[in-house]
Chain A
């Protein structure tokens, strides 16, 4: 099977989804109104609420939601074969993610641009809101712990990437100063930044850096994880313009360049998909495809994290309500395209089936390594760029995604601790440094508590991240569905994804719970139990709230 066929089918399907299905959803279900005064206009303050050009807002929304997750998830899930992952990414993007993301923007815009968290309290009830807060905290905790491990592994597998990955931070620091202090033209600075970044990528393989096997009794993996957490803690305390803003910007530019290069290389090299369509010969210990596929690939098919971005910042900047279709739905397509690239790289970038099977020797082993190795082969074959440089380029791309998400994730987690300090009147917890230490401490506990001295707890809990994330998506869909019930509009298009997600999440959690019990892994068992309780509560809240609103609506119509 040629990868180009899958590429055309996948991208073509998503494009059709955007042109036809999203139009139907926008016109008939959400009934987006070009004359509705959005909060960006009615509450304009020049700070949070600013009407923003839809292409700019799309870029901002897309780069905010695209992290390492749409690469990691699919690159793990192809262990069941390329077909299930491909179908879930394509159909998930069209029927689940696009509807969810544009719906989250619409719901927020229609409610004074409130975030999904506060909307849940208003639309569903205070209990659902409490569950929501717990779920958000868990998602952030897992993102930080997982991405710490992911970057550490990338740096160990590809020592040539150490210089560009850390050098990117220096580049961001410099361009931040050039823009703010020296007031240089943004276009010139962007060009300088991208050139400097790619120069580092080119230099990287010739100066590989590897940590010693043990440092103070810690493995290289554990040492990198600690270094990364120390960096993220410092980054999250710095003013945003110093590091976070230029780093996100340069990362966004790299994302566009990287995706274009990868897809272009695929079209030129025309690689063959060596992985089986359905892998019946999965390694021992691989969980069942159904339901684990639907939680392993969260971002790239549907992700609750998108709802946080959509209702947190995007909705406050929406110029016209009709832009929600382009920004939300097409933003989801952007991420679907990234996930598709990950699937193709992890299945078509190997010389033979035996090579592929060697990498996918156990569940979770493929992950980013498969994306980097496979993608580099394709990139090198298509563009003629040296194989080592190609591998470094993709490693840097993935590591930068994970890195910027970690920076933001840790900052958000710190805010949660500071908020708790406010609520419970704990003076020291309100201060940034102790709150950051608490956030980092929680992540380290998870990484080393679940993963032992190696600190790899993050990857073990990946499917738990998926379930928690899908729960978050479920809650957002619930808010949208309740709003549709209230307005007397068709609910099928959000209700079906909602029910599907909840069923799959609950089933996955139960299967995992049994696995952790059998392995006597009490740490993950407890974490799984917390998520399971949250999932059950969400399901009960969903049913009760929908019934209540349906009855109220019927009484209104009859009355």
Chain B
């Protein structure tokens, strides 16, 4: 292996170890926070689909910043260059 190849391999390994060192102590706290966020999202989507009055509606405005990035990625994947919802503009 060339010197450059060795260096790249070493750099990649150091990066992996660094990321593990950064994340290791907080894996469970971050997984919990993510699960909570997903639960709320699930509740909203489920109630909208089934026509059940959404208990989370009051908080939707508060959630907007959290959902913005994901919503933006979604409408772009769906082939819409801009947000299709008038009251939920992201770009």
Residues of A that sit less than 8 Å from B by CB: 46-48, 50, 52-53, 55-57, 59-60, 64, 179, 185-187, 190, 239-241, 244-245, 248-249, 252, 313, 317
Instruction: Say which residue of A50, A186, A239, A313 sits within 8 Å of B19 (CB atoms).
Output: A186
The digit string for B5-25, where 1 denotes a CB below 8 A from any CB of A, is 000000100110111111111
B20 touches A52 (CB 8 A): yes
Chain B interface SS verdict (over half): helix
- Interface assignment of B45: CB less than 8 Å from any CB of chain A: no
Please choose the segment from B26-34, B49-57, B73-81, B82-90 that sits at the chain A interface, where 4 or more of its residues have CB less than 8 A away.
B26-34
A64 engages B25 (CB within 8 Å): yes
CB <8 Å contact, A59 and B21: yes
A48-B27, A52-B20, A241-B26 are known; give 19 further A-B pairs, CB within 8 A: A47-B27, A47-B28, A47-B31, A52-B24, A53-B17, A55-B17, A60-B21, A185-B15, A186-B18, A239-B29, A239-B33, A240-B26, A240-B29, A240-B30, A244-B26, A245-B22, A245-B25, A245-B30, A313-B25
A248 contacts which chain B residues (CB < 8 A)?
A: 25
- Knowing A186-B15, A187-B14, A241-B33 touch, does A60 contact B26 (C-beta < 8 A)? no
Across-interface contacts of A249 in B (CB, < 8 A): 21-22
> Which residues of B sit under 8 angstroms from A187, Cβ to Cβ?
11, 14-15, 18
- Shortest Cβ distance from B16 into chain A, in angstroms? 9
Q: Can you show 24 pairs from A to B with CB atoms below 8 A apart?
A: A46-B31, A47-B27, A47-B28, A48-B27, A50-B24, A56-B17, A56-B24, A60-B21, A60-B24, A60-B25, A185-B15, A186-B15, A187-B14, A187-B15, A239-B33, A240-B26, A240-B29, A241-B30, A244-B26, A245-B30, A249-B21, A249-B22, A252-B21, A313-B25
Question: Which of B22, B26, B30, B31 has a CB less than 8 Å from the CB of A186?
Answer: B22
Residues of B within 8 A of A190 (CB): 18
With A47-B27, A48-B28, A241-B30 known as contacts, the answer to whether A179 contacts B15 (CB < 8 A) is no
Can you name the residue of chain A whose Cβ is closest to the Cβ of B31? A47
Most buried by B among A55, A190, A239: A239
Q: Please, which residue of chain A has its CB at the minimum distance from the CB of B35?
A: A47
Q: For residue A46, which residues in chain B have a CB less than 8 angstroms away from its CB?
A: 27, 31
Most buried by A among B14, B25, B30: B25
